[in-house]
Amino acid sequence: MNTILLGAQWGDEGKGKVVDHLSAEADLVVRFQGGNNAGHSLWVNGKKTVLHLIPSGILHPHTTCLIGEGVVLDPNVFIEEITQLQAANVFTKAHERIKVAERTHLILPFHKALDVARESGAKGTKAHIGTTGRGIGPAYETKALRRGLRVVDLFQPESQFLEKLESLMNEYRAKFNPLEYSDLQSQTMKDVLYWRKVLEPMMVDSTTFLAKHFADNKRFLFEGAQGVMLDMDHGTYPYVTSSSTTSPAAGIGAAYPKLTRSCRVLGIAKAYITRVGTGPVPTEMLGKFVPGEVEVAENIRKLGQEFGATTGRPRRIGWQDLVALKYAVDVAGIDALAIMKGDILAGMPDFKVCVEYRKPNGEKWNQFPARVEDLSEVVPVYESVPGWKVANSSDTNYRSYLEKIEKFVGVPVKFVGYGPERQQMEVR
C-alpha cells in the first residue's frame, strides 16, 4: 500500500529510520515539504547516515528518490549530500537515483543570511524561534511573495537569472550593508552554471513523472519532514516551521493528488517528547510538575542521544503527551502510528503520560489551545504507566502502554521501534 509518512510530534521522531525500513518495499520515495532543516538518521549494519534533503529511501539500491516542488532546495547542500553518498558507494550516477521537480524553489545564500540575521536580532525576545538557520523561512517567504527563484530558472540565460535575482534581493536591500549585499549576490551568480550542470539530468515535471509511475503500479512512499506540531497552520504558531507538514501537503508538494489521496497515512511518534528550538512543550521535564523530572530528562537525553541531527542542539525532553498526539492524529489525517525509542525508557519504574490539559484556574481544556500563551500555561494531568523491561509487544507493560496510546488517540500502533538499526522494528 502507498504510504504518506509524517512526524506526529515536534520533529525527530525517527522518521528516517521508518522510511529506511519501509523503503525495502517501495519503488519511489518522495520528499514533499521542508528542506535541509530536516536531519534524518539511519543506522544500517552499525553505520550511520544522516540525510537532510535526499529522501531516506536512497540506501536501498532499487529505489528512485524524488524531491517534489513543495521542498525548498539549497543546491550547495544538495550537491554536498550527493558527494557524501557517492563517497559511501551508495550510487555512482546521482541522476539515475534522484529526480528533482523543476518547480522547486531554491534556497540562495541571501535566504540563509536573512534567517541568521533575523534570529540573532531576535535573541532574548519572543520573536526568537530557534530556527535551524538554513534559510527555510525566508525561502518560503519569497515563494509566497512571488519573487522566488526555482530550479527551472537556472536554465535561463544567466542575464535573465540575474535580473530575477536582483528583483528578489531588492526587496531585502535594507536588511544588508552594501558590501554584504553585493557579496551575497556574487556568491549566487558564481555557482549558477555549476548548479545547472548538476541538476540538469535530474530535473523532471513531477506530475508527469508521478502519473507515469502511478500508471505502472509502482509503490510509493512519501517522506514528511519536521512534525505536525511544527506545521505552519496547525502547529504551535509562531514557533513552527514555514511549511505544511500534514498529509494533504503531499498532494501539493509532489503534485499528483490522485495518488496521495489513496495513501495510508503513518504518523511517527516517540514513546516520549522531544523538541529543539523555542516554543511551549506542555509536558517538558522542567521540574515544574513532577519531582526529579529534570534528572529523568538528562538521563533520556544521554541514553537517547537527543541532540539535533542538523544543528547539534540538545533536544528538550518531555513526558508522553496524548492530548497533543490525539490533536496531531486528527489534524494531520493519521491512520496508524509507529512508536519509537521505547527502549530508551526501559528499566524505569514507571512513566508519565499526559491525558488532559487544565487551565491555571483548574478548568479543563476541551481542545488543543490555539494560542501559545495559553499552551505555555497548561497544567498537564498525568497518569502513570508501569515501566517495561523491553520495548516490544512481548513485554506486557509495554503492550499496555501501546494499547493506552491506541485507545486515547483512536488509531492503531502498527510499528514499534526498539533500537536505531534498520531491523530493530516490530510490525504489529
- Residues of this chain that interact with ligand GDP (CB under 6 A) are 7, 11-17, 39-41, 43, 305, 309, 340-341, 343-344, 417-420
Of these partners, ligand GDP, Mg ion, ligand IMO, none, which one is at the site of residue 246 (CB under 5 to 8 Å by kind)?
none
Q: Which residue numbers are catalytic?
A: 12, 40
| Rounded least distance, CB 313 to ligand IMO, Å | 7
| Rounded least distance, CB 73 to ligand IMO, Å | 14
Residue nearest ligand IMO (C-beta atom): 277
b/e burial code for range 152-186 (CB count within 10 A of at least 16 → b): ebbeeeeeebeeebeebbeebeebbeeeebeebbe
The residue among 154 and 265 lying less far from ligand IMO, judged by its C-beta, is 265
The residue among 16 and 75 lying less far from ligand IMO, judged by its C-beta, is 16
Q: What is the DSSP string of 377-416?
A: T-EEEEEEEE--SSSSTTSHHHHHHHHHHHHHHSS-EEEE
| Rounded least distance, CB 337 to ligand IMO, Å | 16
The residue among 139 and 309 lying less far from Mg ion, judged by its C-beta, is 309
Of these partners, Mg ion, ligand IMO, ligand GDP, none, which one is at the site of residue 230 (CB under 5 to 8 Å by kind)?
ligand IMO
The residue among 33 and 260 lying less far from ligand IMO, judged by its C-beta, is 33
List beta partners, residue 40: 51
Q: What is the DSSP string of 305-327?
A: T-B-TTT-PBPEEE-EEHHHHHH
> Using CA atoms, how far apart are residues 221 and 3, in angstroms rounded to an integer?
5
List beta partners, residue 274: 317
Residue 335 C-alpha cell reads as: 491512520
Of these partners, ligand IMO, Mg ion, ligand GDP, none, which one is at the site of residue 21 (CB under 5 to 8 Å by kind)?
none
Residue 84 C-alpha cell reads as: 557524501
Q: What residues line the site for ligand IMO (CB under 6 A)?
A: 7, 11-12, 37-40, 129-132, 134, 136-137, 225-227, 230, 241-242, 276-277, 309
The residue among 203 and 324 lying less far from ligand IMO, judged by its C-beta, is 324
Residue nearest ligand GDP (C-beta atom): 417
> Using CA atoms, how far apart are residues 328 and 273, in angstroms rounded to an integer?
13
Q: Tell me the one-letter amino acid at 214.
A: F
Of these partners, ligand GDP, Mg ion, ligand IMO, none, which one is at the site of residue 418 (CB under 5 to 8 Å by kind)?
ligand GDP
**Helix extents (H) in 63-173:** 75-87, 109-122, 136-144, 158-170
| Rounded least distance, CB 231 to ligand IMO, Å | 10
| Helix 178-199 vs helix 158-170: crossing angle, to nearest 10 | 140
The residue among 210 and 328 lying less far from Mg ion, judged by its C-beta, is 328
Q: What is the x/- site pattern for Mg ion, positions 363-402, by CB under 5 A? A: ----------------------------------------
67, 271, 296, 309: which one contacts Mg ion (CB under 5 A)? 309
**How many other C-beta atoms lie within 10 A of the C-beta of residue 278?**
18
343 touches Mg ion by CB under 5 A: no
C-beta of residue 99 within 8 angstroms of C-beta of residue 78: no
The β-bridge relationship of strands 47-51 and 72-73 is: unpaired
List beta partners, residue 28: 64, 220
Of these partners, ligand GDP, Mg ion, ligand IMO, none, which one is at the site of residue 137 (CB under 5 to 8 Å by kind)?
ligand IMO
The residue among 149 and 328 lying less far from ligand GDP, judged by its C-beta, is 328
**DSSP class of 257:** H
> Where in 10-39 is the site for Mg ion (CB under 5 A)?
12, 39
| Rounded least distance, CB 2 to ligand IMO, Å | 21
Nearest to 170 by CA among 152, 190, 184: 184
| Rounded least distance, CB 329 to ligand IMO, Å | 17
C-beta of residue 337 within 8 angstroms of C-beta of residue 405: yes
| Rounded least distance, CB 309 to Mg ion, Å | 4
> Using CA atoms, how far apart are residues 35 and 136, in angstroms rounded to an integer?
7
| Rounded least distance, CB 330 to ligand IMO, Å | 20
The secondary element (H helix, E strand) that includes residue 332 is helix 322-332
> Using CA atoms, how far apart are residues 34 and 12, in angstroms rounded to an integer?
13
The residue among 7 and 133 lying less far from ligand GDP, judged by its C-beta, is 7
Interface positions with Mg ion (CB under 5 A) = 12, 39, 309
